A and B are shown apart, each in its own frame.
Chain A
Amino acid sequence: MHVQALLSILTWLPIMGGLATLLIGDAQPRLARWCALAVSLITLALCVPLYAGFDSSTAHFQFLERLRWIPQLHAQYALGVDGFSLPLIMLTAFMTVPVLIAGWTVIDKRPAQYFAAFLVLEGLMIGVFCAMDALLFYFFWEAMLIPMFLIIGIWGGPRRVYATLKFFLYTFLGSVLMLVVLIYLYLQAGDYSIAGFQSLPLTLIEQRWIFLAFLVAFAVKVPMWPVHTWLPDAHVEAPTGGSVILAAIMLKMGGYGLLRFSLPMTPDASRELDWLVIGLSLIAVVYIGFVALAQTDMKKLIAYSSIAHMGFVTLGAFLAFGIYRATGTLSGAINGLDGAMVQMVSHGLISGALFLCIGVMYDRMHSREISAYGGVINVMPRFGAFMVLFALANSGLPGTSGFVGEFLVILAAFKANFWYAFLAATTLILGAAYTLWLVKRVIFGPVANGKVAAMQDLNGREFLVLGMLGAAVMLVGLWPEPLVRIMEATSRHLLDQIAVTKIPVG
């Protein structure tokens, strides 16, 4: 099965579908919903030929598309996928479907615009992962802020304006520095191709500055401590769908950026400054873990848990240098990279699912306070089962996807430094503590009050959504091999890239 210009279709079909949904208008919400769902399902279906046609034995970009775009700036419309982008594209296409279904009847304010915004966002996010040209990457990366800004601002909670402005300005601030760096690299390299940037020789001083500018841009997005403060606000105020996309996909952009830009473009600075990223990651894992423990708002708790889990991604991505220093070889370093990637996919599924669960409860109770709940499982047994499954996955139970990524990263961390592994492993306790304590207070125990007693169990639509995600979490957990195999060659290629210095001789 071969589809022409598959990546362009994956990128532009949702955007065009979003515009069509917008044109259908809020006056015909039914038609708008079905149109949006159909587009997202077609997009998801198009991931099948993408996966089937992907050759996992090579690190080269595949499904290449190249068109002249802006010859004056030597920027091309160049799309391609490799082992890092493929899983994230599939995750994006997969997660948009439950988000749309979850908002089916819940969103009664400007429904067509809501569905349109998510479709446009989906297209732009896929564009970010496909772009092989740095300018095109930046184009999608920034454009993505617009629909999310509107989603939080229009359909969010009471403090939505503060949250969405903070979200936009934080990310914008991080990104503009990246833009300066990209233009700087362009002036050195002569065009905007990412591959060209990766092979461009740079002195150590240049690399340091470039690395730091990239780090600011990507750290805001991940988000890493201490630039994480926009995330809890954005999550709390965003509508359920917005939280899901934010946690599941948008945070992954930061991790993806580190793998695609920081490591291969500035390997020497990464080697020199890996302590910085590792230190911040460990702070995220340990400190933010404790912060999560103290939350009284369910969404905030999951938001902090996201920061802690994303700490594993940044940690895994930068372990290779420590392993080389400790053992003199790069054997085992691949576990760090694979772990980071698996953790991204897994966190996308789990955090998305948890936000959907909170959405299910919020739709019934209109409260996110943990203290407002108790004994939910007595009235909502089917929901309770899902919630417990996702909670266990979030705390890294073997057999769920949450285990695979964390285990691989901790494995790699042991090779680099015992204390890295020790601190990272505290997540097994902390993560279990805050997640299971949440479950204990919300799901188990006697029915807390009359409002909880009046809650209805999942309807078919919600069951479908949570079922989809539950199956995916179990699948990645029990059989991670296809996922790891997809990215294997690309990870090895990245290790080769960072093992070679880019400092020009003489």
Chain B
Amino acid sequence: MSILMPDSAMTWMMVRPAITEIALASSICLLLMFDVFAGRTWRYLTHGLTLIALAVCAWLTLTVGAVDSRTVLFDGLYVADKLGVFLKLCAILATGLCLFYSQAYLDRRRIHGGEYDILTLTALLGISVLVSANSLLTVYLGVELLALSLYALVAFDRDSGVAAEAAIKYFVLGAIASGALLYGMSLLYGLTGTLALDKIATLSAAHGAGFVIAVAFIVVAVAFKFGAVPFHMWVPDVYHGAPTSVTLLISTAPKLASFALVMRLLVYGLGADPALWVQMLSALAVLSLLLGNILAIAQTNIRRMLAYSAIANVGFILLGFITAQTGGYRAALTYTLVYVLTTLGSFGVVLLAARSDGEADDLDDYKGLGARDPLLALLMLGLMLSTAGVPPLVGFWAKLWIIQALLHGGHLWLAVLAVLASVVGAYYYLRVIWYMYFDAGRAQTPILKQTGTRLALALNVAAVLLMGLLPNTLLALCTKLIPGP
């Protein structure tokens, strides 16, 4: 081998950290082929093979893709660092759990084609690319790959009018956001003459009015992807309109991507002068906290409620960034991870509780769940309390760390606002518990057993509780991933 191609070892070393993307792209091609040629008899295997492919990708990322220090590949387009590897692993895990939780739901609704799994994988590939982006082009590539896959997934149930409406909304608004992102990027390129984020980072200190405009466009796009007020309009409609399994996906792994987007673009790329974006993010954070929490109270549909809850939680994540300090970024990372973990569980419960003839997404559907299905209700209890930020569940530590970062940065009033908003938020999380435990249920079809999914959900909630009792591992991990003072 080495005699024939003397450079091959070198080349392999150069692309080695990108193994996640390579493995994902290969899996996508192979699965696509398999799905086409397998025929009716074997197509049902696609789902299982997708999960296996994800496991292999995770394993490769962990073994082959692990890097000791920041490595730049492909002429500066791609960066591999500990944070990237970790976020990719989390995204793979979250996507795998999403697929695992949704299996029965998709089968029951008869919308489980092999394309579903493959589109999920392309979304994951988009996340991976985005997480590792070191150039404006790579960022855009990742953002678009993720977004286009998600648009298609939202419309996956082609007979559903609501889903089609949600997909169109998502697509149109998403296209505007992409346009804004591209416009901001082109301004940045014009002002600095480079697409590489690490070069922009060294140049951005000497900025002028043009820089502010460019950053404003980029922040708008980031806010849209995150779903922060006032760019949140798509969130409730998409969460509500899409099949629940897609809602589960949208509400989890892409949040990791959004976190990475802020880290790569704003913190690393434009971090020399955080004042450029801190004020804009503050406004977004405060509005998201207030509006998300207040509007969630008025919802009667649990998916819309969780959508507004997502908006409020994004407010919390953004609060971590506006400190413009390492501690704040760590807190934001912790919060994102905790949010993803908890949301996986809560939408997992919504999926499991779905009736065979459709969804169980009216809050009223949860009345009496405590008597009807004690395990499911208990899991939901833990998840709701965690999202509300009540100890001994992990959501408490996520909020605590954000507040600590805010106080450390001298943002006393934002900290007070954040805790008061979380009291407002507590109401609607408690309302789910109230419906499940305090109200008598209406007669309903029993909930399917699905032992495997239940077990996975129980482990998911056990992790929420265990990390709540002993948060040190999580906090140590986040401290290690974002080094600094």
Contacts and interface: CB of A to CB of B under 8 A. Distances in A.
Interface of A: 68-73, 138-140, 142-143, 145-146, 149-150, 153-154, 160-161, 164-165, 168-169, 172-173, 176-177, 179-180, 183-184, 186-187
B434 A176 contact: no
Contacts of A160: 438
A184 B407 contact: yes
Contact of B476 (A72, A149, A153): A72
Nearest to B334: A72
Given A142-B391, A168-B430, A186-B404, 14 more contacts: A72-B472, A73-B404, A139-B391, A143-B392, A146-B390, A154-B437, A161-B434, A165-B427, A169-B423, A169-B427, A172-B426, A177-B419, A184-B407, A187-B404
A250 to B, nearest CB: 16
The 6 nearest A-B residue pairs measured at CB: A176-B419, A72-B475, A153-B438, A139-B391, A70-B472, A173-B423
Nearest to B415: A180
Interface string B170-198: 00000000000000000000000000000
Contacts of A145: 390
Contacts of B416: 177, 180
A213 to B, nearest CB: 9
B70 interface: no
Contact of A179 (B370, B403, B437, B471): B403
B385 interface: yes
A208 to B, nearest CB: 14
Majority DSSP secondary structure for residues of B touching A: helix
A186 B391 CA distance: 18
A211 to B, nearest CB: 16
B14 interface: no
Contacts, number: 87
A343 B396 CA distance: 34
A126 B468 CA distance: 19
Nearest to A135: B400
Nearest to B416: A180
Interface residues of B, number: 32
Contacts of A173: 420, 423
Nearest to B371: A110
25 contacts: A70-B472, A71-B476, A72-B475, A72-B479, A73-B400, A73-B404, A142-B391, A142-B396, A149-B430, A150-B433, A153-B438, A154-B370, A161-B434, A169-B427, A169-B430, A172-B423, A172-B426, A173-B423, A179-B419, A180-B403, A180-B415, A183-B400, A183-B403, A183-B404, A183-B407
Nearest to B431: A165
Contacts of A172: 390, 423, 426
Given A146-B385, A146-B390, A153-B437, A187 B408 contact: yes
Chain A CB within 10 Å — which of B407, B423, B427, B479 has the most?
B423
Contacts of A70: 470-472, 475
Given A142-B390, A184-B407, A187-B407, A150 B437 contact: yes
Nearest to A26: B374
A19 B427 CA distance: 26
B391 A143 contact: yes
Contacts of A184: 407, 412
A159 to B, nearest CB: 11
Contacts of B427: 165, 169
Contacts of A142: 390-391, 396
Contact of A71 (B370, B423, B472): B472
A153 B423 CA distance: 19
A206 B479 CA distance: 30
B460 interface: no
Contact of A165 (B404, B434, B475): B434
Given A180-B416, A183-B407, A143 B390 contact: yes
A156 to B, nearest CB: 8
A73 B475 CA distance: 9
B422 interface: yes
Nearest to B396: A142
Contacts of A140: 391
A352 to B, nearest CB: 25
Contacts of B400: 73, 179, 183
A342 B128 CA distance: 63
A430 to B, nearest CB: 35
B438 A161 contact: yes
Contacts of B470: 69-70
Nearest to A25: B374
Contacts of B412: 180, 184
Nearest to B474: A72
A149 B426 CA distance: 12
B315 to A, nearest CB: 16
A164 B472 CA distance: 33
Nearest to A155: B438
Interface string B261-301: 00000000000000000000000000000000000000000
A217 B368 CA distance: 33
Contacts of A154: 370, 437-438
A180 B407 contact: yes
B419 A180 contact: yes
Given A146-B390, A150-B437, A186-B404, A168 B426 contact: yes
A422 to B, nearest CB: 39
Contacts of A164: 434, 438
Interface string B432-450: 0110011100000000000
A176 to B, nearest CB: 4
Contacts of B430: 149, 165, 168-169
Nearest to A179: B419
Contact of B392 (A71, A139, A169, A177): A139
A146 B381 CA distance: 10
A172 B430 CA distance: 12
User: Which of A72, A142, A161: most chain B Cβ within 10 A?
Assistant: A72
Contacts of B396: 139, 142
Given A180-B416, A183-B404, A187-B404, A169 B426 contact: yes
Interface in B331-388: 370, 385
Contacts of A149: 430, 433
A176 B438 contact: no
Contacts of A73: 400, 404, 475
Contacts of B479: 72
B374 to A, nearest CB: 9
Contacts of B415: 180, 183
Contacts of A138: 391
A161 B433 CA distance: 10
B406 to A, nearest CB: 9
A420 B140 CA distance: 72
A2 to B, nearest CB: 28
A183 B414 CA distance: 14
B464 to A, nearest CB: 14
Contact of B423 (A69, A139, A176, A183): A176
A31 B289 CA distance: 47
Contacts of A165: 427, 430, 434
A70 to B, nearest CB: 5
A72 B397 CA distance: 12
Contacts of B476: 71-72
Nearest to B378: A22
A441 B35 CA distance: 82
Contact of A176 (B370, B422, B433, B475): B422
B341 to A, nearest CB: 18
A186 B408 CA distance: 10
A69 B472 CA distance: 7
Contacts of A187: 404, 407-408
Contacts of B392: 139, 143
